[in-house]
Chain A
Amino acid sequence: MMRMLQLAAALLVVALAPAAHAQKEREVSIGLQAAITSIDPHYHNLSPNNSLLLHVFEPLVKRDANQKMVPGLAVSWKALDDLTWEFKLRKGVKFHDGTPFTADDVVATYKRAPNVPNSPSSFATFTKPIVDTKVVDPYTIVFKTSGPHVLLPSDLGSVYILPKAVAEKATTEDFNSGKAAIGTGPYKFVEYVPNQRVVLKANYGYWGGEEPWDKVTFKILTNSAARVAALLSGDVQMIETVPTSDIAQLSSDKKFALADKVSNRVIYVHLNQWNDKTVPFVTAKDGKPLDKNPFKDARVRKALSMAINRDAIAERVMEKKAVPAAQLLPDFFYGTSKKLKPPKYDPEGAKKLLAEAGYPNGFTLTIHGPNNRYINDDKVAQAIAQFYSRAGLEAKVETMPSNVYFTRATKGEFGYMVLGWGTESGEQGSSLRSLLATHDPAKGMGVTNRGRYSNPAFDKEVADALVTMDDKKREAMIQHAAETVMNDTGLIPIHYEVSTWATARGLKYTPRTDQYTLATELKPAGK
C-alpha cells in the first residue's frame, strides 16, 4: 500500500512540476491592470485601449516617453497661419494587408473617427476643430480649423489611422473579430478574448525596424494580488501598476527588476465653491452650520493646503511612489512653472491662517474620495484626515466606489473632493482650462471644474494662451496663468503618481509618463 502511495505521489509531482514554460526565445506575456473594451481604435477613448492599440495602429503624431511629440505617420507638420496646418506624411509605409499608406487613408479615418455608433466616449473632440481637409498630394495634407487650434498635432496624436477601405466599411465587431484590425503598427492582431487576453504577433515589414518580440500576449489581471502572483510564478514576464505594498519585496528580489517614472497623473483636491453661503458636509465643530462658505476664502484654501504633509503621504502611504505636487504636471512638462513649489507642511501656520480668516477653532468637514480608482486613493483620503486633526480641524472620511463617487461629485454633492487627473496632451494649458476655468461647458471651459472655482483674470490668461500659436510665447502665458491660480489655491495639488512596472530579470522596460504599457519599450536587458 505504501509503495503504491509513494509511486502515486512521485507521479503526481512529476506530472505537476512546472513544465518549464518553454518560452520560445522571443515570446513574452504581459499582465495588464485594466481591461480593454474593444479592438476598434475609434470606439472608446480610454487609456488602456489607446495604449494597447498603439501596437497595431499608429497616428500621425506619436509621443515619446515624456509625452513630447515625435513623428509618427507624419514626418513633419507646421502651422501655415492661424487657421491652417500642413502635415507631410511618411513614405514607404504599408498596412498589415500590404496596401500602401497615403493621405486618402487619413481623410477616410478622420471621417470615421467621430461617427462610431454607440461610442461611450468618442474621438470627436479631436477631429472636431477640422473644418476642411485638402489632399495636396498623396503625402501632403492641409487642414483648416474653425479657430486657432494650437493643440491640433497633439489631438491628432490620439486618432489612429486605418486603411481607407476599412475606415469606410468596418464595424466595431469587425475589429473585435480581427477582420478589420489592420493598421501600420509594429504588431499584427491575432486574437482578442474580452476581459481575458489580447494576442499579437510581429509585423516583420514594419517601417520602424525590427521589434524584439515575435509574439506578445497581454493578460488582463485586474486583481492586484493575482497580477503580482502571476509575475512571481513566471506566468507573465512583466506587469504594470505594481501595488505599492509589493514594491519593497520585489525590489529586493533578484529575480525581478523594477522600472518607474513619474506620470502625468496628479492627485488633487477640489473644494466646493459653488455657493457663497452654504457648502455640503462643512459645519462648525458643534454641528451648527457656518455663516458662510469657508472655501471661498483664499486664506482657508491655503491653510488647508499647508496642513497636508505631502512628504509623509509620498513616503508612507504611497511607499515613495509619489512626488509632492505644486501644480498639475511635474515641472519638466511644457507649460509648468519652475517657480511653483509644493507648500511646506506647516500645521501651526495653517491654524494661524484659519484664525485670521475667522475660524480660530477650526471647523468640521468630510473628506470624500473614491476607493477603487487611483492608487491608494482611500488611504490618501484617510491620511489627509489625520493631518487635519492636527491642524485644529475635525475631519471625517467617506470613500466609495467610483461608480457612485463621480456622479455625485459632478453634481456638487460633496464639499471636499479627492480627485485625479491625467493630462493626455502632455502640456499644462488644456488641463488648467478643464479643471480651473469658470465652468462654461458651451464654450468648452472648466468642463471638469467640479469645485466651480472662478477667477476671471485667470480665465482670460488661459483663453488667450490657448489661441497663441507661437510656442514660446504661449508657454510663458501658460506658466503665468498657472502661477496665478496656484497662488490663489484654486485647487489643492497633492502629488503626482509614480507608475511602476515590474519585469523578470533579464528584461528592461523603458517607462513612460502617460502610463502606457508598450511591448515596444520592453527589451532584453543589455540590448
Chain B
Amino acid sequence: MGVLADDDTTPAPAAAAPVESPWRRFASEFAESRLALLGLAMLVAIIALALAAPWVSPQNPYDLAQLDVMDSKLAPGERSSTTGKPYWLGTDDQGRDMLSGIFYGIRISLFVGVTSTVIALAIGLAMGLAAAYFGGKVDAVIMRIADIQLSFPSILIALVLLAMLGQGVGKIIVALVTVQWAYYARTVRSSAMVERQKEYIEAAQVLALSRPRIVFRHLLPNCLPPLIVVATVQVAHAIQLEAALSFLGLGLPITEPSIGLLISNGFQYLLSGKYWISFYPGLALLATIVAINLVADQLRDILNPRLKK
C-alpha cells in the first residue's frame, strides 16, 4: 500500500476539490462493519472504566484495611455485615468486592497486556527493520535468535522464566515481552524485505536520501499496517497468556489480582454454587478480548491490500 509514500514523491495536486484524507477514509471503511463499531465502543468503555477505576470503584480491593474476611463469599446483592452497603456482584473469599475487583483487575490486565505489547513491538520493530535494512550478517544473527526463540512454545518460556523470576507486575511484563518480540521482528522483517524491493525505495535511494530518512519516513510507514493488526491481536493474546499463567500459579501477586487471577481464584467455587467469584471476572475478560478481536478483525480486513478489488 504505497498510498502515503506516493503523497511524498509526487507533486501535490492543485487544491481544487477537497480530497478525502486517508484518515477519513480509514474511519469510514472501519465503520462499515457494525460489529467492529460495537467492538470499538466496548473497548473504549472498558478502557475508560479501567482508567477511572480508583474513582468509580466502591472499594479499593488492594487495600487490606478495607477488606473484611467476615464479608467473604457473599452473593451478588447481599450487604456487608459491618457497613451495610450492598455488594453488587458479590464478594470473593477474602471479602473483596467483585465489582471493584473487576475494575482494578481490568486495569492491571490491560496495563500488562498493552505495556508488554508496546515494548515487544518497539524491540521487534527495531530488530526487524535493522535486519531488513542492513541485511547480511546482521540479518542472519537477528533472525537466528528470533527463530530459535520462536521454536519454543510461548507458554513454556513464560512458565520457566516466571518460575525463575518470581512474582510481580514487572516480572510478568518481562516474561511477556521476551515471548513476543520475536514475532514482531519476523513480521517487520518480511514486510520490510518486500517493501525494500519496491520502486519507491529505489527512487528514494536514487534521490540520495539519507538512510535514516529512508527507513523512518518510507520503509516504516508501509510496514505498519500488518504490524498494527498483529499488535492489536497480541494485546489480547498477552492478556490471555497472563490469565493462563495465573491459573497455573505464577505471575501476579495475590493481593493485587488481575482478571486472570480473579478467575483462577474463583475456579474452585464453580462446582459448589458460588459461581460469581469466577463468572463475572470471566465475563469481563471475555468482553475485553472479544472487543479487541472485533476491532482487530476489521482493521485486518481494511488494511489487507489483497481484498481491495
Contact = CB atoms under 8 A, between A and B. Distances in A.
| Direct A–B contact in the complex, CB atoms closer than 8 angstroms | yes
B268 interface: yes
Interface stretch (B63-71, B147-155, B180-188): B63-71
Interface in B23-69: 64-65, 67-69
B255 interface: yes
Contacts of A250: 272
A493 B232 CA distance: 51
B94 interface: yes
Contact of B271 (A229, A372, A389, A398): A229
Given A379-B94, A399-B254, A386 B69 contact: yes
Interface residues of A, number: 35
Interface in B241-283: 249-250, 253-255, 267-274
A246 B270 CA distance: 9
B166 interface: yes
Contacts of A316: 69-70, 72-73
Contacts of A317: 69, 72, 93
A225 B267 contact: yes
A473 to B, nearest CB: 44
B167 interface: yes
A372 B250 CA distance: 11
A41 B267 CA distance: 36
Contact of A398 (B70, B167, B272): B167
Interface string A120-161: 000000000000000000000000000000000000000000
A245 interface: yes
A245 B274 contact: yes
Interface residues of B, number: 27
B72 A389 contact: no
A151 to B, nearest CB: 37
Contacts of B166: 400, 404
A190 interface: no
A224 interface: yes
A401 B269 CA distance: 21
A203 to B, nearest CB: 37
A524 B166 CA distance: 48
Contacts of B273: 249
A254 to B, nearest CB: 16
By secondary structure, the B interface counts as loop
A54 to B, nearest CB: 29
A312 B271 contact: no
A399 B167 CA distance: 9
B249 A401 contact: yes
A379 B93 contact: yes
A398 B168 CA distance: 10
B271 A382 contact: no
A345 to B, nearest CB: 12
Which one of B65, B69, B269 has the highest number of Cβ atoms from chain A below 10 Å of its Cβ? B69
A464 to B, nearest CB: 42
B281 to A, nearest CB: 16
A397 interface: yes
Contacts of B163: 401, 403-404
Given A224-B268, A225-B268, A382 B274 contact: no
B65 to A, nearest CB: 4
A371 B246 CA distance: 12
Nearest to A243: B268
A377 to B, nearest CB: 11
23 contacts: A225-B268, A225-B270, A228-B271, A245-B93, A245-B269, A245-B272, A245-B274, A248-B272, A312-B69, A313-B69, A317-B93, A371-B254, A372-B249, A382-B254, A382-B255, A385-B64, A386-B64, A386-B94, A389-B64, A397-B64, A399-B253, A401-B163, A401-B250
6 smallest CB-CB distances across A and B, nearest first, come from: A249-B272, A389-B65, A246-B272, A245-B268, A383-B69, A245-B269
Given A224-B268, A228-B271, A316-B70, 8 more contacts: A245-B274, A250-B272, A316-B69, A316-B73, A371-B254, A383-B69, A386-B64, A400-B166
